[in-house]
Amino acid sequence: MTPTTATPDTIPVASTERRVAPRRQPAMGTVCRIEVPGEGPMALALVWNISATGISVLVSEPRPAGTVVTGYLELTEGDHMQRITARVIHVKKLETGDYFLGAHFEPRLTAEELKPFVAE
């Protein structure tokens, strides 16, 4: 484990990369429709970055860490759609009032499943 460093005015931050797969920029128009059982219609999330093992999205409603969500990756223009299941790993409230949500895919996406949703 890599040691953390801190000064009186900072929070300790680990200096190692924890991701198993490299993050990729999403293709233009990539969105994620998230459904949580018992919460009504799917919420639309803007994909911030994506990898075979997970996704980061901007959402208007938070989901607690540990929540399992299902839904679809979609392109707003085109016919690509991929069913996903993911476990929320972290949530951060932004100054805009929206939330940044990071989640791990369960199971991870294959290269073919991921391909339509990443920028060239």
pLDDT digits (tens, 9 = 90+) for 71-114: 999 999 888 899 999 999 999 999 999 999 999 999 999 999 99
Mean predicted confidence (pLDDT) in 33-61: 89
Q: CATH code for 30-117?
A: 2.40.10.220
Neighbour-count burial of 69, counting CB atoms closer than 10 A to its CB (0-12 exposed, 13-18 middle, 19+ buried)? buried
Cβ(65)–Cβ(88) under 8 Å?
Answer: yes
Mean pLDDT for the chain? 84
> What is the value of pTM for the model shown?
0.77
* For residue 17, pLDDT beyond 80: no
